Chains A and B, each alone.
Chain A
Amino acid sequence: MARDDKPEAEGRVFKIVGTRPIRPDGIDKVTGRARFGADMSAPGMLVGLVLRSPHAHARIRGIGTARAEALTGVKAVITRADFALDSGDIDDDDLRDILHNVMAHDKALYDGHAVAAVAAVSAPVARRALALIEVDYEVLPHVIDVDEAMKPDAPVLHQGRSDETVPAGMSANVMHRFEFGHGDVEAGFAEADVVIERSFRTAATHQGYIEPHACLASMGPDGQADLWCCTQGHYMVRNTCAGLLGLDASQLKVTASEIGGGFGGKTTVFLEPVALALARKSGRPVKMVMSRDEVLRASGPTSSTSIDVKIGMKRDGAITAGWAELRYQGGAFPGSPVQFGAMSCFAAYDLKNVQAIGWDVVANRPKQAAYRAPGAPMGAYAVESVVDELCEKLGLDRLEVRLKNASRDGTKAAYGPRFGRIGLTATLEAAKAHPHYTAPLGPNQGRGVACGFWFNFGGDTCVTLNVNADGTVGLSEGNPDIGGSRAAMTMMAAEELGIPYERVRTTIADTSALGQNEVTDGSRVTFAVGLATIKAARAAITVMCARAAKIWGIDEDAVVWEDGHAKPAGPNAGQFPPMSLAEIAALYANTGGPIAGHHEVTAEGAGVSFATHLVDAEVDPETGAVTILRYTVFQDAGKAVHPAYVEGQFQGGAVQGIGWALNEEYIYGADGRLQNPGFLDYRIPVASDLPMIDTVIIEVANPGHPYGVRGVGETSIVPPLAAVANAVSAAAGVRLTQLPMSPPKVLAAIDAARG
């Protein structure tokens, strides 16, 4: 490798990074003071509500709004006609799809698709107004299932959207074909002693954030607009809404509220452009909040999938070839994360012969949104299930087989590149050495193992760090804090400056205060914003060293920064007493003006992350119900800045994966309508479903970050589907190949195996 692979952080002794201080936004969040999306109000505010399609697929022949507009208290009714830009004006496919999703055009494409919206003086009035809007629908045949949608005679959502990668003659619902891999899989299978091929299915699941989408918009006749919303990226919201409404980005100021969970689901817009359009039309501030029913019907779930996997293995456990074909429906628009499923499903293995094919398919369901390592958990589920079955068939130890075939530094990944420094084998070794792996199991109990991988991501990042006259520091960054990132930024700034954690306050700035910041996604924030924070602190240190040099009358280069102080160095060493940050800050006005550091970068060089999960499950053979008995996560964090929040990411991802494996699914009726749009019937894990989730943090430094940080937020959801499936299959004595493994499915599998 041409690159110098030695991490800058190697050997560095940290004072603050690696400790567990209390998060700066903590008190607001335990006292109810923190303001989330729905917690903001404005004088004269109206309530906005959305009318949604009751049909899975229908042509909209006309929308009558006159009766709604005539209702006392109604201040605005909008339909697609009220968006300045229509599809013809937008040459960006993605933006046009977002507009079609925000407000239906000529067709409603799924149950819950927005078709009109009202703003009224109160929620009851707005509800009455919705009932007065007359939509003339021509109901069309619909398709929900991914395999059905690929059939040549399936109802078609869009004509002419398939791209050049799709072979002629396929359904127009097939949007894109991906293929990755290398070597010769057929030759590889010929070398194998055992080849297993299996088909798997996973249900669509929702990110399940507890806070529904919410926003408050206002706009003047001059086009100046303000928007408050819960989002993973307010710069994205600004850019997208400006594009959809024909506004200048400079005229739309977006402030991110505290965010009540996102997991990828708040990386797009739903209500925000609608609220702005209603505010523009009514001349009043408009607040919109989704109900849970709306969240489930109309905001992003992830794909449902259908996957075939074939793997060959020699008797000694060496994998000779791996092949997978993945079919993901991404809802009503192109863009399912199937490419990431296809790229990542074999990432944990060093394979000579590997091929993964992915099909992106549309169906009459809500447009999928990113969900934590989008696309990866399903692919890993299928591959890790087959690897498990091969180990079982050959009587081999599951961790030893994974270690034997594991990707290591320099391995050519199944998706193309060679890995740099990676920690997969470290997670496997840690799992092997952990008492969990050898703990005894009881009757009807089984143990599952699985590995997972995620790419991680960097992206546009701006940070400004201001040194105040009293020696405290204000840090402004542009990424909503979804799980403790303000604590991590504060720690990194304090570490670099050499001052106490309590002296730094980190603020999530609005879109007028900083340049472009990429969405809080791709596990990027601690990596990329952390990198920019460290560089901004270093820029401020350079300024402070220069000020000290002036005061001492020596050369700037002859000043060093140590432990929060400027010190004369070189020939001047010891000539002057060190000056603290506070002492330099106090003299700012006399030495050249306010002191600040900033850094703007499109961060590249995110390090990939691997994990290994161990889980014990018990199956009740009478009911098919599964109990998770014990769970341990082993994951490479590069460097854990705030270990408690790293553990929290590991635990939260594992439990979302447990829910995906055991309970969660979108259930559609024959009419194409979602039958379980509420938390009673869409059942996410509750406290009594779970044991403690043990965690082991592995630290294999990422050479691309000054402290060695890798993103940790996403990888943790990749292994649990497979780990739980392997544990349940072992406990039930039969291989389970469909998620969720709800009691009826497990029972049916047990009954079928008994004959």
Chain B
Amino acid sequence: MTQIHVSTTINGDAVEFLCEAQETLLDVLRDRLGLTGAKEGCGTGDCGACSVTLDKRLVCSCLVLGAEVEGREITTIEGMADGEILHPLQQKFLEHAALQCGICTPGILVAAKALLEKNPDPTETETRYWLAGNLCRCTGYDKIIRAVMDAAEQMRGA
């Protein structure tokens, strides 16, 4: 099968890969590029575990084809911390115990970061609606919402 050559930027690095036409961006990230931080919970865009940003827009990478990202900019959970310095959201998730099993955590962090870039001072309701596309089965969301609100406050003060 003829493969498609794609040049793109991932977490600031130039990346090239070959993929088949039907392969999703999530398949490419996980199976071809070794970026397994994005998770496949459903493959149908319902759970948000595969959230990444594409040209700063939050997307489910399972609903984007690998071939579509030619010339675009992708960020994933692997690009969130600055070396060994965690992003305030990552730090607040740890402090608030906002994860139990951790499978949804990368997607929720990517989604929450996209929220705070758009709206640095979200209300609880805005935060809940923004994250409504990211399923968590362990926490009941309480500590996640608290962690995001706390991180937002810290980032506004910074």
A and B touch in the complex (CB under 8 A): yes
Q: B120 on the interface (CB 8 Å rule)?
A: no
Q: Report chain B residues within 8 Å CB of A679.
A: 41-42, 44, 46-47, 135
Measured as residues with beta carbon below 8 angstroms from the partner, the interface class of chain A is 35 or more
Query: Known contacts being A34-B102, A484-B97, A687-B145, is A656 close to B41, with CB within 8 Å?
Result: no
**CB neighbors of A among B21-64 (8 A):** 22, 30, 35-44, 46-47, 49
Find B78's partner among A31, A210, A684, A690 (CB 8 Å cutoff). A31
| A262 cross-chain contacts in B, Cβ below 8 A | 101
Contact present for A210 and B49 (CB under 8 Å): yes
Chain A residue nearest to B134 in the complex (CB): A687
- Chain B contacts of A38 at CB under 8 A? 30, 36, 39-40
In the bound complex, how far is the Cα of B35 from the Cα of A31, in angstroms?
11
Q: Which of A23, A36, A693 contacts B94 (CB 8 A)?
A: A23
Task: State whether the Cβ of B154 lies closer than 8 Å to any Cβ in chain A.
Answer: no
Bound state CA distance, A689 and B129, in angstroms? 9
Q: For A647, what are the chain B residues with a Cβ–Cβ distance below 8 Å?
A: 97, 142-143
B131 to chain A: closest residue by CB:
A687
Interface string of B74-85 (1 = CB under 8 A from A): 001110110000
Residues A483 and B20 in contact, CB atoms below 8 Å apart: no
A261 at the A/B interface (Cβ < 8 Å)?
yes
Complex Cα spacing A567 to B100, Å: 40
- Cβ of B69 within 8 Å of any chain A Cβ, yes or no, is no
Chain A positions within 8 Å of B97 at CB level:
20, 23, 484, 642, 644-645, 647-648
Once A30-B94, A644-B96, A687-B145 are accepted as A-B contacts, the answer to whether A211 and B41 lie under 8 Å apart by CB is yes
Check if A656 sits within 8 Å of B137, measured CB to CB. Answer: yes
Q: Quick one: given A31-B37, A31-B77, A292-B44, are A652 and B140 in contact (CB under 8 Å)?
A: yes
Let me know if B104 is at the binding interface, CB within 8 A. Answer: yes
Q: Decide yes or no whether A209 CB sits under 8 A from chain B.
A: yes
Q: Which residue in chain B gives the minimum CB-CB distance to A686?
A: B132
**Residue from A32, A212, A690 within 8 A of B40 (CB atoms):** A212
Chain B residues 126 to 142 lying within 8 A of chain A, measured CB to CB, are 127-129, 131-142
- Whether A32 and B42, one on each chain, are in contact in the complex, defined by CB atoms closer than 8 angstroms, is no
Are the CB atoms of A27 and B137 closer together than 8 Å? Answer: no
Contact with B along A296-326 (1 / 0, CB 8 A): 0000000000000000000000000000000
B152 close to chain A: CB less than 8 A: no
Task: Assess whether A188 is interfacial by the CB under 8 Å rule.
Answer: no
Interface flag for A430 (CB, 8 Å): no
The answer, yes or no, to whether A291 is at the interface (CB within 8 Å) is: yes
- B15 within 8 Å of A (CB atoms): no
A208 — which chain B residues lie within 8 A by C-beta?
Answer: 137
Q: Is A692 an interface residue (CB 8 A)?
A: yes
Whether a CB of chain B sits under 8 angstroms from the CB of A39 is yes
Point out which of B77, B101, B105 has the most chain A C-beta atoms below 10 A from its C-beta. B101
A340 an interface residue at 8 Å Cβ cutoff?
Answer: no
Are B138 and A648 in contact, CB atoms less than 8 angstroms apart? yes
A402 → chain B, closest Cβ, in Å? 24
Instruction: Give the complex CA separation of A34 and B35 in angstroms.
Output: 11
Is A35 among interface residues, defined by CB-CB distance under 8 A?
A: yes
Query: What is the distance, in angstroms, from A119's C-beta to the closest C-beta of chain B?
Result: 16
A30 adjacent to B105 (CB under 8 Å): yes
Which chain A residues (48-88) contact chain B, with CB distance < 8 Å? none
Is A159 an interface residue, CB under 8 A from the partner? no
The answer to whether A31 and B80 touch across the interface, beta carbons within 8 angstroms, is yes
Q: Are B140 and A651 in touch, CB under 8 angstroms?
A: yes
Task: Decide if B135 touches A686 in the complex (CB within 8 Å).
Answer: yes
Residue interface bits B87-101, CB-to-A below 8 A is 1, else 0 = 000100111110111
**Which of B38, B125, B132, B142 gathers the greatest number of chain A CB atoms within 10 Å?**
B142
Interface-centre pick from B46, B97, B101, B140 (highest chain A CB count, 10 A)? B140
Is chain A's binding surface mostly helix, strand, loop or mixed?
loop
1/0 per residue, CB under 8 A from B, across A14-48: the answer is: 00000010110111011111111011000000000
Of A484, A684, A687, which one neighbours B137 at CB under 8 angstroms? A684
Interfacial chain A residues near B36, Cβ < 8 Å: 32, 35, 38-39
| A678 close to B (CB within 8 Å) | yes
A260 an interface residue at 8 Å Cβ cutoff?
A: yes
Task: Give A552 to B48 CA distance when docked, in angstroms.
Answer: 61
In the complex where A210-B135, A261-B137 touch, is A692 in contact with B93 (Cβ < 8 A)? no
For the complex, give the distance between the alpha carbons of A211 and B129 in Å.
23
Distance, CA A650 to CA B141, complexed state (A): 12
A30-B86, A32-B78 known; A211-B39 Cβ under 8 A: yes
Q: A692–B142 contact, CB under 8 A?
A: yes
Q: Taking the nearest CB of chain B, how far is it from the CB of A520, in angstroms?
A: 11
Report Cα–Cα, A210/B41, bound state, in Å: 5
Interface contact A210-B140, CB-CB below 8 Å: no
Tell which of B41, B80, B93, B141 touches A687, judged by Cβ atoms closer than 8 Å: B141
- Whole-angstrom distance between the alpha carbons of A521 and B101 in the complex? 15
Q: A656–B129 Cα gap in the complex (Å)?
A: 19
- Contact: B139 with A648, CB < 8 Å? yes
Q: Is B67 in the interface zone, CB < 8 Å from A?
A: no
B152 to A: closest C-beta gap in Å: 15
Across-interface contacts of A22 in B (CB, < 8 A): 94-95
A656, B94: Cα distance in complex, Å: 23
Instruction: Give the contacting residue for A260; candidates B35, B39, B140; CB below 8 A.
Output: B39
Give residues of chain A (684-715) contacting chain B, Cβ–Cβ below 8 Å. 684-690, 692-693
Closest to B148 in A: A687
Q: How far is the CA of A501 from the CA of B43 in the complex (A)?
A: 39
Q: Is the CB of A26 within 8 A of B47?
A: no
Tell me, yes or no, whether B10 is within 8 Å of chain A by CB: no
List of B residues within 8 angstroms of A648 by Cβ: 97, 100, 138-140, 143
A686 to B111, CA, bound (A): 14
Shortest Cβ gap from B101 to chain A (Å): 5
Contact of A651 with B101 in the complex, beta carbons under 8 Å:
no
- Interface status of A680 (Cβ within 8 A of chain B): yes
Interchain CB contact under 8 A, B47 and A652: no
Known: A20-B97, A32-B77. A258 touches B141 (CB 8 A): no
Distance to closest chain A CB from B132 (angstroms):
4
- The residue that B103 contacts in the complex, of A36, A124, A652, with Cβ under 8 A, is A36
> What CA separation (Å) do A454 and B31 show in the bound complex?
42
Give A482 to B102 CA distance when docked, in angstroms. 9
Set of chain A residues within 8 Å of B1, measured between Cβ atoms? 124
Q: Check if A634 is an interface residue, CB within 8 A of chain B.
A: no
* Alpha-carbon gap, A453 to B142, bound state (A): 23
Instruction: Check B90 against A692 for contact (C-beta < 8 Å).
Output: no
- Contacts A30-B94, A210-B104: A261 and B44 contacting too (C-beta < 8 A)? no
Given contacts A124-B22, A678-B42, A688-B129, contact A655 B101 (CB under 8 A): no
A381 at the interface (CB under 8 A from B): no
Q: A23-B97, A27-B94, A291-B43 are in contact. Are A32 and B76 (CB under 8 A)?
A: yes
Top 8 nearest A-B pairs (CB, nearest first) are A32-B37, A260-B103, A655-B140, A29-B102, A644-B97, A651-B140, A679-B46, A32-B77
14 residue pairs from A and B, CB less than 8 Å apart: A30-B99, A30-B102, A30-B109, A31-B37, A32-B35, A32-B37, A38-B40, A39-B36, A209-B103, A211-B101, A483-B100, A644-B97, A648-B139, A655-B139
Show the binding face of B for A, using Cβ within 8 Å. 1, 20, 22, 30, 35-44, 46-47, 49, 76-78, 80-81, 86, 90, 93-97, 99-106, 109, 125, 127-129, 131-146
Q: A209-B137, A647-B143, A686-B141 are in contact. List 17 more A-B contacts (CB 8 A).
A: A29-B105, A124-B22, A211-B39, A260-B39, A261-B101, A482-B100, A482-B101, A648-B138, A652-B139, A656-B140, A679-B42, A680-B46, A685-B140, A690-B141, A692-B145, A692-B146, A693-B140
Instruction: Report which A residues bind B (CB closer than 8 A).
Output: 20, 22-23, 25-27, 29-36, 38-39, 124, 207-212, 258-263, 289, 291-292, 482-484, 642, 644-645, 647-648, 651-652, 654-656, 678-680, 684-690, 692-693
